């Protein structure tokens, strides 16, 4: 199966899929471009690791329709940025819609329109399901409506990697998108031929989300909705109408087929034990001195940042208010899986992993950061710049991992797709 990796970063989707089956999943094309940076470090790491694919380092908007049409990909994968996905009418665009800020999602839709892949696997932050705050769920509903217009179904699940035996408490929403004429979709439809429409609404989706869906098979959940939370919604065929008037609810698990979606709030079964932080760390004799913190001012700064506080702040309009922040553990609990890693990892920051071992304090190393995302050790150490192999700075390596996904989650998705694709 030929794969196109968009917003490729340092290759998380490719690592996961190749771990699932390197012979089956063959990434032929990859696009990575960071518009806000002169140096293209992530692309150069990808280019160093994967020289056998067509690696494209330019703004996705500059990839022409004709270029996409030459990519006969079976699967498109990518972790696209989270933005504002509201839409407005426009005579300029074929679909009659224009993203105001979330233009990168519409580039995915453009790629789908030109390539017509069988499947997509996408990833985003879980707050997408509740965005924007003034019209919760609208952005995600727009995405569902866009895929529905192109004759695709969408299954989604918010997955906390630690719930499924991994090292990090990282919650992300994953989409499994499939064309409505693939064998898997036809098998689902055939189970309900001749069934009363009302029963389809009430029973089909429960059975799919708890038993038949890709995520249900690889990421087991308790077999009843959490606190009974569930919702059913029928999407308008007009995406602008969805953008302007959406009033539905979107929970952490769901399926959209033929313009209708059913969504439930679910909990993992708790059957898989996560890997504690201490099992991620390198032996102390392998850790460079530069990761240890002995400076008293830095130690005091970490104590302040991680402690409770009340700070007087002003709004842009001059209104004064008190900002409160609760305290957290003064350093990481090594018996638990890691907290979520952010792009600020390694800096003097409240979110930075701060470790105490043998009465010494230190930060995590780039190798430990890579392990938290299930990348091989030193995956991001080297890059290929203008034909020359050079080293990547620690700061950039941490940034890459803060942006990355847990590759073993993608691996499990790949394993299940292998089973259901035929």
Contact 379/49 with Cβ under 8 angstroms?
Answer: yes
Between CA 98 and CA 103 the distance in angstroms is: 8
The span from the CA of 66 to the CA of 64, in Å, is: 5
- Burial environment of residue 171 by CB neighbours within 10 A (0 to 12, 13 to 18, 19 or more): middle
Q: What pTM did the predictor assign?
A: 0.93
How far, in whole angstroms, is CA 131 from its chain's centroid?
15
Assigned token pair, 132: 């924007």
For the chain, the helix, strand and coil percentages under 3-state DSSP, each to the nearest 5: 35, 25, 40
- Each of the 422 residues of the chain gets a pLDDT tens digit; together they read 999 999 999 999 999 999 999 999 999 999 999 987 789 999 999 999 999 999 999 999 999 999 999 999 999 999 987 655 555 544 444 333 444 445 789 899 999 999 999 999 999 999 999 988 888 999 899 999 999 999 999 999 999 999 999 999 999 999 999 999 999 999 888 776 654 554 455 566 788 899 989 999 999 999 999 999 999 999 999 998 998 999 999 999 999 999 999 999 999 999 999 999 999 999 999 999 999 999 999 999 999 999 999 988 888 888 899 889 899 999 999 999 999 999 999 999 999 999 999 999 999 999 999 999 999 999 999 999 999 999 999 999 999 999 999 999 999 999 999 999 88
Of 364, 362, 365, 367, the residue nearest 378 (C-alpha)? 367
SS3 13: helix
With contact defined as beta carbons under 8 Å apart, do 100 and 240 qualify?
A: no
Burial 266-290 (b: 16+ CB within 10 A, else e): beeeeeeebbbbeebbeeeeebeee
Closest CA to 176 of 13, 56, 54: 13
State CA 24 to chain mean position distance. 22
Closest by CA to 397, choosing from 353, 366, 362, is 366
In the chain the domains, ranked by start, together with CATH numbers, are 2-272+407-420 (3.40.50.150)
Annotated active-site positions, please?
A: 82
């Amino acid at each position: 199966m030929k794969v196109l990796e968009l917003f490729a970063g340092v290759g998380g989707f490719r690592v996961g899929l190749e771990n699932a089956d390197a012979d089956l999943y063959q990434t032929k094309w990859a696009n990575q471009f960071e518009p806000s940076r002169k140096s293209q470090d992530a692309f150069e790491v990808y280019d160093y690791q994967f020289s056998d694919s067509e690696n494209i380092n330019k703004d996705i908007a500059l990839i022409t329709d004709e270029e996409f049409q030459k990519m006969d990909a079976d699967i498109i994968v990518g972790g696209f940025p989270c933005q504002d996905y509201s839409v407005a009418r426009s005579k300029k665009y074929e679909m009659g819609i224009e993203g105001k800020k979330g233009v990168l999602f519409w580039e995915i839709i453009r790629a789908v329109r030109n390539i017509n892949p069988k499947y997509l696997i996408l990833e985003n932050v879980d707050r997408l399901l509740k965005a924007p705050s003034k019209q919760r769920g609208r952005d995600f509903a727009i995405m569902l409506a866009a895929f529905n217009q192109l004759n695709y179904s969408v299954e989604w699940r918010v997955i906390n990697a630690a719930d499924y035996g991994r090292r990090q408490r990282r919650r992300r929403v994953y989409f499994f998108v499939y064309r409505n004429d693939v064998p898997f979709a036809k098998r689902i439809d055939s189970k309900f031929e001749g069934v009363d429409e009302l029963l389809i609404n009430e029973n089909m989706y429960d059975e799919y989300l708890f038993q038949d869906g890709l995520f249900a098979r690889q990421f087991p959940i308790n077999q009843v909705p959490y606190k009974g939370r569930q919702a059913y919604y029928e999407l308008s065929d007009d995406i602008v109408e969805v953008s302007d008037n959406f009033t539905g609810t979107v929970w952490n698990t769901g399926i959209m087929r033929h313009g209708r979606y059913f969504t439930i709030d679910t909990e993992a079964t708790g059957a898989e034990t996560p890997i504690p932080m201490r099992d991620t760390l390198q032996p102390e004799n392998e850790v460079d001195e530069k990761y240890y913190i002995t400076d008293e001012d830095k130690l005091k700064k970490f104590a302040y940042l991680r402690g409770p506080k009340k700070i007087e702040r002003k709004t842009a309009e001059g209104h004064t208010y008190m900002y409160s922040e609760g305290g957290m553990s003064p350093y990481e609990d090594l018996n638990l899986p890691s907290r979520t890693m952010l792009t600020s990892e390694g800096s003097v920051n409240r979110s930075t992993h701060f470790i105490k071992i043998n009465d010494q304090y230190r930060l995590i190393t780039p190798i430990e950061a890579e392990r938290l995302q299930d990348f091989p050790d030193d995956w991001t150490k080297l890059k290929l710049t203008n034909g020359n192999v050079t080293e990547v700075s620690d700061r950039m390596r941490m940034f890459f991992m803060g942006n990355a996904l847990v590759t073993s989650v993608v691996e499990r998705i790949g394993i299940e797709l292998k089973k259901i694709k035929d």
